[in-house]
Amino acid sequence: EADIYQTPRYLVIGTGKKITLECSQTMGHDKMYWYQQDPGMELHLIHYSYGVNSTEKGDLSSESTVSRIRTEHFPLTLESARPSHTSQYLCASAVLGSNEQFFGPGTRLTVL
């Protein structure tokens, strides 16, 4: 089992709220990723990081931001949630030099 955790697992909030989705891994992986996936649809990469203080935007434009202050922690923040942000958010990590990504259980976000 991969040691990668996401909290909360489910979140229902109102429009305009600021939220932070947490992702932590205990494997010492340098690479971390955030994906967004609607039910039955493709995964879209929204952010990734190659190590502390490294963050990059992914293929899908996102209004969220990320930070990587510690190797094990890669939180994603939405400053003002909107109904269009309703989706599942998946965090993953991998070692440098590998394409084997380990995924967390996901956070299912609903913005009313």
Partner 1 sequence: LAKTTQPISMDSYEGQEVNITCSHNNIATNDYITWYQQFPSQGPRFIIQGYKTKVTNEVASLFIPADRKSSTLSLPRVSLSDTAVYYCLVGAVAQAAGNKLTFGGGTRVLVKP
Rounded to whole angstroms, how far apart are CA atoms 10 and 17? 15
**Binding-site member from 35, 64, 78, 81 for partner 1 (CB under 8 A):** 35
Burial code (b: 16+ CB inside 10 Å, e: under 16) for 95-107 equals eeeeeebbebebb
5 contacts partner 1 (rule: CB under 8 A): no
13 contacts partner 1 (rule: CB under 8 A): no
CA 17 to the chain's CA centroid = 18
Between 17 and 75, name the residue whose CB sits nearer to partner 1. Answer: 75
How many C-beta neighbours within 10 Å does residue 36 have? 22
Rounded to whole angstroms, how far apart are CA atoms 58 and 28? 22
34 contacts partner 1 (rule: CB under 8 A): no
Binding mask 48-67 for partner 1 (x = CB under 8 A): x-x---x-x-xx--------
Between 41 and 112, name the residue whose CB sits nearer to partner 1. Answer: 41
Contact predicate 7/48, CB 8 Å: no
Rounded to whole angstroms, how far apart are CA atoms 68 and 16? 24
Q: Min. distance of Cβ 68 from partner 1 in angstroms?
A: 12
Q: Min. distance of Cβ 85 from partner 1 in angstroms?
A: 18
Q: Which residues bind partner 1 (CB under 8 A)?
A: 31, 33, 35, 42-45, 48, 50, 54, 56, 58-59, 88, 90, 92, 96-106, 108
